[in-house]
Structures are given as structure tokens and as C-alpha cells.
């Protein structure tokens, strides 16, 4: 019998790839979002509306929930929004799942590597103490602690994805912003600190990891989703220049230099591989080529 998965944030960047990954693997998928959509198998409900979420759960009766919906842009103008959506919205969802009366196979909640904050170098694993450096990271740490209060009643698994990108990500995120400048052959790009190092994964690999986790059902566990390699923004710019054959003048705009900038983020994904088996994300150059040229 086909398993039914409810994916929150299904119309978002990650959500669209998640839905495709699940359907390709034979799952029945129902998407959930706060906006109207003409997509098939989609329900509209806001995470801050507890009653609406309970109605959705009663109607859909999923076997699995993958919770991707969140305010994710660190520079978002309203700090309170992170807490309303990422913390209280997730609590409303878990309460709705619990009230549905159905025993689910898995509830996967996407947290973020931002929970680690400004850690002092090295490779971060799941036992690294959280030290969030901004409201987004704090909201995700709070969400993780809140979610644990629903264990063992709900089969919750937490993920902490590091930076990831791909075709279709909004340009207020770093890699899409850089890619868009190269695609339109801009003369100048304004960026913040070029000497930050990030662990970049490919969205297609991230959603594959999520699918494998709901199949393994490691209840109560937390997993980094990361490449284990870091690249500086200077390296990203050099790769884009080489792939596109276009040179761009880079100007550092002090307005883009964040006071609480996380200097280096690199994740250890060995726990993930020990759970789901062999898993790799494409090299960053391959992801950038896909984004710049449309090549798989």
C-alpha cells in the first residue's frame, strides 16, 4: 500500500525537490503551504493557525510528515517572525499530529547548522554544543528543544543541514545571488565578507538524505547533512568565473557585512552515513555548473 507523506513548505525551494524525490520513489505526496497554489494534492494552511493544521491532519491522515516550512533567510526584517513560524508554528504542527490519533512512521523536522553559530574552527558534529549567533539560529535551537518534549510519543527525527543550493533558490541567498550576476554578465557584484568559509551541499542530495532518513526512522536522533568540505566565497567567485568565462568586479559593501557573521561552518556527516548508508553530495563546482549552465 502506498505511503502518504505530508510535506510542509512544499512550494518552497527545498519543498519542490522533496516532492519530486518522494514521488519518484513511489510515495503519495500531499503538499502544505501558507499560500494559494494550483498544484495537485496541495492544502493551504498557515503554521501559526493551530486549528487549521488540526483540520489538515484529520483530512490527510499521512503516514509521514516532512516539515520544511520555515522562515530561513537570516537577514529577514522581522526577528519575531522566526519565533512565530519556526518555533510556535512547529509546535502547532506537532500538536496537530499528536491530536490526529494516527500513529505515524516518521516525523522529520528540518533544523539548521546555524544552531552551531560561531564555533572555533574544526569540523562540527552533532555533539558540538549549540551556540547560535542570530535570531534564526536561536529559533531553530528552541524548536529542537521543544520538539524533544514530544518524544517518545511522536517518531521525530531532526536534521541540521549546512548551506545548500541549486536551481530555483531565491536570489537573497548567497550562491543564487552570485550565479545570477554571472548569468546576466554583470560588471560588478557587491558582497559582504569574502573570507567566510562554508560547507555547501546540493539540494538534490539533501532531499535524498531526508527520504532515506524517513525510511530508516531513527527516532529521537539528530543528523548533520553536510559535504564535509569548505569553500570560501573567493573560491566560489573563481569557479563561477571559470565556468561562465565572465569576469566580475567584486566590491565589499559594509552594509552586507553581518556583525554576527559565522566565519567557518563545516559539518561532519558520518553519523548520517552510518544511518542511511553511502551518501554523497556533488562537488560544489558541479552544483554551480548546473545553476549557471542548466547542466545536470
| Domains of the chain, each with CATH number or no CATH | 4-167+201-228+266-281 (3.40.50.720)
Catalytic annotation, residues: 136
The whole-angstrom separation of Cα 10 and Cα 39 is 10
Q: Quick one: which of 68, 64, 67 has its CA closest to 27?
A: 64
How many CB atoms within 10 Å of residue 262? 21
The whole-angstrom separation of Cα 144 and Cα 86 is 10
CA 287 to mean position of chain CA atoms: 16
What integer pLDDT is reported at residue 176 of this predicted model? 96
**Residue ranges, the chain, pLDDT below 50:** 296
The H or E element spanning position 114 is: none
Contact 116, 265 (CB under 8 A): yes
Q: What are the tens digits of pLDDT across the range 219-237? A: 999 999 999 999 999 999 9
What integer pLDDT is reported at residue 296 of this predicted model? 43
From residue 99, alpha-carbon distances to 27, 92, 104, 153, 265 in Å are: 24, 10, 12, 11, 38
What integer pLDDT is reported at residue 75 of this predicted model? 55
Amino acid at each position: 500500500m502506498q505511503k502518504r507523506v505530508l510535506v510542509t513548505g512544499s512550494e518552497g525551494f527545498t519543498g519542490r525537490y522533496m516532492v519530486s524525490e518522494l514521488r519518484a520513489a513511489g510515495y503519495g505526496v500531499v503538499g502544505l503551504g501558507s499560500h494559494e497554489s494550483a498544484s495537485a494534492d496541495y492544502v493551504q494552511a498557515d503554521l501559526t493557525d493551530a486549528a487549521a493544521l488540526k483540520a489538515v491532519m484529520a483530512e490527510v491522515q499521512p503516514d509521514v510528515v516532512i516539515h520544511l516550512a520555515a522562515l530561513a533567510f537570516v537577514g529577514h526584517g522581522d526577528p519575531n517572525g522566526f519565533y512565530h513560524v519556526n518555533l510556535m508554528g512547529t509546535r502547532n504542527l506537532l500538536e496537530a499530529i499528536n491530536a490526529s490519533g494516527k500513529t505515524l512512521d516518521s516525523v522529520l523536522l528540518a533544523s539548521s547548522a546555524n544552531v552551531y553559530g560561531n564555533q572555533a574552527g574544526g569540523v562540527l558534529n552533532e555533539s558540538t554544543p549549540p551556540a547560535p549567533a542570530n535570531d534564526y539560529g536561536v529559533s531553530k535551537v528552541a524548536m529542537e528543544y521543544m520538539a524533544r518534549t514530544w518524544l517518545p510519543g511522536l517518531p521525530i527525527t531532526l536534521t541540521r543541514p549546512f548551506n545548500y543550493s541549486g536551481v530555483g533558490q531565491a536570489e537573497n541567498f548567497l550562491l543564487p545571488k552570485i550565479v545570477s550576476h554571472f548569468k546576466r554578465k554583470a560588471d560588478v557584484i557587491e558582497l559582504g565578507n569574502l573570507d567566510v568559509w562554508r560547507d555547501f551541499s546540493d539540494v538534490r542530495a539533501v532531499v535524498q538524505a531526508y527520504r532515506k532518513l524517513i525510511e530508516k526512522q531513527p527516532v529521537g536522533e539528530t543528523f548533520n547533512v553536510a559535504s564535509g568540505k569548505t569553500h570560501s566565497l573567493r573560491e566560489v567567485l573563481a569557479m563561477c568565473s571559470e565556468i561562465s568565462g565572465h569576469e566580475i568586479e567584486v566590491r565589499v559593501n559594509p552594509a552586507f557585512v553581518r556583525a554576527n557573521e559565522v566565519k567557518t561552518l563545516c559539518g561532519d556527516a558520518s553519523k548520517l552515513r552510518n544511518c542511511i548508508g553511502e551518501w554523497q553530495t556533488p562537488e560544489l563546482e558541479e552544483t554551480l555548473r548546473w545553476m549557471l549552465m542548466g547542466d545536470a
